Amino acid sequence: MADVAFRLAAPSRRLTSGAVAGALVLASAYLLPPLVGSTYLFEAILLPFLALSLAGLGLNLLTGYAGQLSLGSAAFMAVGAYAAFNFDLRVPGLPFVGSLILGGLSAAAVGLAFGLPSLRLRGFYLAVSTLAAQFFVQWALNKFDWFSNGSASGVVRAPDIVLAGHVIDGPVERYLFALTVVVAATLFAVRLANSQTGRNFIAVRDNETAARIVGVPVLRTKLVAFAVSSFIIGVAGALWSFAYLRTIEPAGFNLDRSFQILFIVIIGGLASIRGAFFGAALIVVLPLALSRLGQAAFGGAFDSGVLELSQRVLLGALIIAFLIAEPKGLVALADRARARALRPFLKPPYGG
């Protein structure tokens, strides 16, 4: 009975220590960068990091938790961005947050449609069928200039983000806005992952037959995964365009971007909320660090072409290394490092 008591007490204890850590991260995310950050930090690092983390978070729900491989992330980002743009443009009086949510819902609808093949297809075949979303959305954005309000290239300037009459202006305010959206989405994802639906995702991923037998609504679960994931990825696309780039352009949402989001999830850690943030941090910081290092080591010879190439090589090597050596990603590395650091302070039963 002591064991039962321990077992029942454990989740809440884990919850409180997690909540404390989360609160610390949150407080520093809100307070530190505005105090010490340069424009460069916001524009080149933090804003793309937030948007990519959010996209990774969305994909991780679908691929990491529910086990449905998708290569359509950039398409869902594009739908979120262009839909938010059009709602903002065409619905007078709609607050920006409304456009953002409707953008996410539009992405969810498109994600749901392209998730239908998941009811029949698996793994590699499903991934290929989600490519259809990628090509279809890019085709539609190029073909119909209505989406970009008549711009022939499809590129439009993103309108200002306006909150309750206040124009979100400057990198710090855009950062704080994006951060708030990401925090809200993360809380949602945490709740989802710990809900019955989240456990159903994992059950469907791990053993679809057993899941069906215990009464998990398998088809509905897959569609919910596609819809929720695409919603979050759509909002990420809107953040990418409105808060980070301040232009909306189809080229930014190509297949490369879809792969980038997938790599974020793989490197960061599948089926982990933190994984998306770890992976996005690495993806954003890697080229910057590489460029600094290259410049320092080779000077002018390290031009943008070489940078691009070495970045791809290094990323490819990292992905292979992670897939082979640590399929659970950076999160697992971090957890192991923390356990090692804490071991001296813990009694044997918890130290192992």
Partner 1 sequence: MSTSTIAAPRAATEGARAADASAPALEVAGVSLAFGGVTALTGVDLKVAEGEIFSVIGPNGAGKSSLINVVSGLYRPNAGCVLIGRKSFAAVPAAALASLGVARTFQNLALFNGLDVAGNVAMGLAHQDRTGLFGQIVGSPGARAEEARSLVTEILAFIELTAIADRAPGTLPYGVRKRVELARALVSRPKLLLLDEPMAGMNAAEKADMVRFVRAARDRWGATVVLIEHDIGVVMEISDRIAVLDHGRKIADGAPAEVRDDKGVIDAYLGVAHDDDEIPLELAGAA
- Positions in the binding site for partner 1 (CB under 8 A): 3-4, 7-8, 10, 188, 191-192, 195-197, 199-200, 202-203, 205-207, 209-218, 224, 228, 271
How far is the C-alpha of 287 from the C-alpha of 311, rounded, in Å?
6
> Considering beta carbons, is residue 4 or 164 the nearer one to partner 1?
4
The least distance separating partner 1 from the CB of residue 202, rounded to whole angstroms, comes to 4
**Residue among 91, 92, 94, 81 nearest 247 (CA):** 81
The least distance separating partner 1 from the CB of residue 117, rounded to whole angstroms, comes to 20
The least distance separating partner 1 from the CB of residue 67, rounded to whole angstroms, comes to 9
> Considering beta carbons, is residue 149 or 207 the nearer one to partner 1?
207
**Alpha helix ranges (H) inside the chain:** 2-36, 39-40, 47-59, 73-90, 96-115, 123-143, 170-193, 196-206, 208-213, 218-239, 255-268, 273-298, 304-325, 329-342, 348-351
Cα angle 27, 278, 74; round to 5: 110
**Residue among 332, 31, 34 nearest 172 (CA):** 34
Residue 322 carries which side chain, given as an amino acid letter? F
Structure tokens at 143: 């073909």
> Considering beta carbons, is residue 11 or 170 the nearer one to partner 1?
11
> Considering beta carbons, is residue 153 or 207 the nearer one to partner 1?
207
How far is the C-alpha of 229 from the C-alpha of 262, rounded, in Å?
13
> Considering beta carbons, is residue 151 or 207 the nearer one to partner 1?
207
> Considering beta carbons, is residue 62 or 168 the nearer one to partner 1?
62
The least distance separating partner 1 from the CB of residue 6, rounded to whole angstroms, comes to 9
The least distance separating partner 1 from the CB of residue 352, rounded to whole angstroms, comes to 11
The least distance separating partner 1 from the CB of residue 42, rounded to whole angstroms, comes to 31
